[in-house]
Amino acid sequence: DVLSLSTHFKQVHRQYSPKHALGDATTSPAVGKHEGGHLFPQSLRDRSIALIFSKRSTRTRVSSETAVAALGGHNLFLGSSDIQLGVNESLYDTSKIVSSMCDGIIARVNGHDEVELLAKTADVPVINALSDRYHPMQILADLQTMTEDAVLSTKTGAAASTAMGPVGALQGLKVAWVGDSNNILADMLVSYPRLGIDLAVAAPKGYERDEIVWGEMEDGLRSTSTPWRKGSVSWTTDPKEALKDADVVVTDTWISMGEESSKEQRLRDFAGFQVTEALAKAGGAKPDWRFMHCLPRKANEVDDEVFYGPRSIVFPEGENRRWTTQALADMIFGRWKL
Ligand code: CP
Ligand code: NVA
């Protein structure tokens, strides 16, 4: 599974990269295991991956480019000002041309229909690198980060982990989302309850649930039969209510890319939603609660004390974007038969 592979890549890198050098790279038997003495399988050798990005990015771009390169592949970063898309050319035509020359596409788009059109019309696999509805790559990194956290891993039902893979260790965890009803939350909704994680959402009045996402969550819960207990989902406009007994508190910017024109209104609407020690205490979060955020972060949604404090696991979460992306690229682009 993707998280086991991601963990494996991370461990290999930790052991042998000069940055983290712990062992003797010259004598280790694992070095040179892959053809040409590479640290990782060269599953993307002779393959080119197109990164079609219509919005800016730090983590997704850097993790995708480094992951593809580490697997021996070639990246083409195609930002909005690099290609004809959107100015002189349609998405359909772009999809046909790019996929006739490249072996995979990682796409960051505006509307979710755009990534669906790419997936339908491209002749190669397409990975969604963020749309206005979903951001699945982020949630893989978040899951890995929670399984690795020492505090969280002491609380959970490790017994389930054999059947479920590494995420079994997250059974029964309570995650509170305090923030916007956005693309990050959408992926938490469609995945966490299926994995046995209880999810409590607090979003302000007027930032209601996305009915398409909600329907996909319900379909997923109905159609996945699991030997483990599925998680619950609750929704409130009161952050304190969602924070009760939370093991993990998660938030994101109140102003996602493309929503800049409603910034002032949003800042007013989200008053009282900033994640702080005081709010978590007032809501009754567990004493050792952890904090996650996909980044980029603004101080509106979380103060410095929490964001840079000992509860925060945001930087391991950011780094895990690399390893989960490398696992995805290997599994999707590397094993796809050309
Ligand atoms: N979390 C995330 O996707 O960050 P970027 O927008 O920097 O890629
Ligand atoms: N919700 C944010 C996530 C950025 C990674 C956005 O869509 O801008």
Could you tell me which of 259, 262, 209 has the C-alpha nearest to residue 234? Answer: 209
Category of 36 on φ-ψ map: left (φ > 0), alpha (ψ -120 to 50) or beta: left
Q: Which atom of ligand 1 has the smallest separation from the CA of 130?
A: 3
Active site residues: 294
The pLDDT, as a whole number, for residue 31 is 60
Residue at 7: amino acid letter: T
The pLDDT, as a whole number, for residue 30 is 57
Q: Delimit the domains of the chain by residue range.
A: 14-133+321-334, 150-312
Share of the chain above pLDDT 90, in %: 83
The pLDDT, as a whole number, for residue 290 is 98
CA of residue 23 to ligand 1 center, whole Å: 32
pLDDT band at 227 (very low <50, low <70, confident <90, very high): confident
Mean pLDDT of 78-101: 97
Pairing of strands 248-251, 104-108: unpaired
The pLDDT, as a whole number, for residue 35 is 83
Measured from the alpha carbon of residue 131, the closest ligand is 2
Residue 137 tokens, joined: 């790559």
The pLDDT, as a whole number, for residue 55 is 97
Nearest-5° Cα angle at 187, 244 to 232: 40
Residue 161 tokens, joined: 């982990």
Nearest CA to ligand 1 atom 7: 58
Whether ligand 1 lies within 6 angstroms of the CB of 64 is answered as no
Whether ligand 2 lies within 6 angstroms of the CB of 60 is answered as no
Cα gap 61→53, rounded to integer Å: 9
Among 255, 256, 266, 314, which residue has the most ligand 2 atoms within 8 Å of its CB, making it the best to mutate? 256
CATH architecture of 150-312: 3-Layer(aba) Sandwich (3.40)
Share of the chain above pLDDT 70, in %: 93
* CA 239 centroid distance within chain: 23
Whether ligand 1 lies within 6 angstroms of the CB of 262 is answered as no
Decide whether 14-133+321-334 matches 150-312 in CATH topology.
yes
Q: Which atom of ligand 1 has the smallest separation from the CA of 63?
A: 8
120-153 pLDDT, tens digit per residue, is 999 999 999 999 999 999 999 999 999 999 999 8
Residue at 193: amino acid letter: P
164-178 pLDDT, tens digit per residue, is 778 888 989 999 999
CATH among 2.40.50.100, 3.40.50.150, 3.40.50.1370, 3.10.20.340 for 14-133+321-334: 3.40.50.1370
Cα gap 173→168, rounded to integer Å: 10
Whether ligand 1 lies within 6 angstroms of the CB of 138 is answered as yes
Measured from the alpha carbon of residue 252, the closest ligand is 2
Residue 103 pLDDT more than 80?
yes
Q: What is the DSSP code (8-state) at residue 89?
A: B
Is the separation of the CB atoms in 279 and 239 below 8 Å? yes
Which residue did the predictor score with more confidence, 33 or 188? 188
pLDDT band at 24 (very low <50, low <70, confident <90, very high): low
Is the separation of the CB atoms in 145 and 292 below 8 Å? yes
pLDDT band at 197 (very low <50, low <70, confident <90, very high): very high
Mean pLDDT of 230-235: 97
pTM exceeding 0.90: yes
The pLDDT, as a whole number, for residue 337 is 82
The strand order across the sheet containing 104-108 reads: 74-79, 48-53, 104-108, 126-128
